[in-house]
Amino acid sequence: MVRGAAERVVGGAAAASSVGEPLAGRCDSHRHATFKRLLRPENSTVRIVSITDLHGRPEALRAILADVNKPDIVLLGGDITNFGSPSEAERLVGLARQMAPTVLAVAGNCDSPAIDQRLFDLEVGLHGRGECFETVGIHGVSAIPPWKRGMYQLTEEELGAAIEQGHAMIREATHRILLAHVPPKGTKVDRTFFWIHAGSAAVRSFIDREEPSVVFCGHIHEGRGLERLGKTTVCNCGLGARGEYAVAEVLDNAIDVSLRAVRV
């Protein structure tokens, strides 16, 4: 078994035709999320595990969650399946729920609008909405900007609208976290093997403007890493199918973000 943080940053307080399809689970952007209590000892660290790009590998999810000591929240950051079905995504969410009290998720380009809707039906979907847990607020955005046919993709305008809608629900949180499948554009964590920046301009614009505490993302497997943009820690969690993941530990006014890996 391989363990350990590769890097660490501590920060302060489906088809192209799917573009534009509404999701029934979207929430009113003026609504605020209710602050929920976590089942943990008072004044203890909140441990958040973020996993992206599982690509349908339950054995990788089991290995990662077995490697983490009792996470409070598990985030599934898209490409939960590899062009799979809503039922497959539901099975992976169910597996995560067996090992953590709270699971939240967005869909990736290798998922679909139908999977995104299933995530809402399971009450874990975060696209265009947010949840608050004590001092931590988490909101999300699914899909990627337009790239090629057969992918779950939305326009930059739609991605931006979903980000703002979810952010409005968690704006009052001390620590604001965005879970996005796609990284922010123009960074080291969105750079492909061909040195092309394949991230989202909408995600980058939101970070530059609102400076959330942490942005968890994936999509560009070779872009795994940590980067600071102003006050924001951006974390490309890497290829979950290969046992790569990230952990955020929240205590008082600080968030410690680290990259980890386990042999699958």
Domains and CATH numbers, the chain: 8-14+47-261 (3.60.21.10)
Mean pLDDT value across the chain: 88
How far is residue 8's CA from residue 191's CA, in Å, rounded to a whole number?
20
pTM listed for this prediction: 0.87
Q: Which range is least confidently modeled, 6-15, 70-79, 239-248?
A: 6-15
pLDDT at residue 205 in the model: 98
How far CA 258 is from CA of 8, 73, 180, 208, in Å, comes to 4, 15, 17, 22
Q: Which range is least confidently modeled, 3-17, 36-50, 112-126, 198-212?
A: 3-17
How far is residue 54's CA from residue 254's CA, in Å, rounded to a whole number?
28
Q: Give per-residue pLDDT as tens, 194-238.
A: 889 989 999 999 999 999 999 999 999 999 999 999 999 999 999
> For residue 42, is pLDDT > 80?
no
% of the chain with per-residue pLDDT over 90: 77
Asked whether the beta carbons of 248 and 75 are under 8 A apart, the reply is: no
> For residue 63, is pLDDT > 80?
yes
Over residues 127-132, mean pLDDT: 97
> For residue 23, is pLDDT > 50?
no
Sign (positive/negative) of CA torsion 113, 185, 240, 64? negative
Strands 35-36 and 8-11: unpaired
Residue 252 banded pLDDT, cuts 50, 70, 90: confident
Residue 183 banded pLDDT, cuts 50, 70, 90: very high
Residue type at 13 in one-letter notation: A
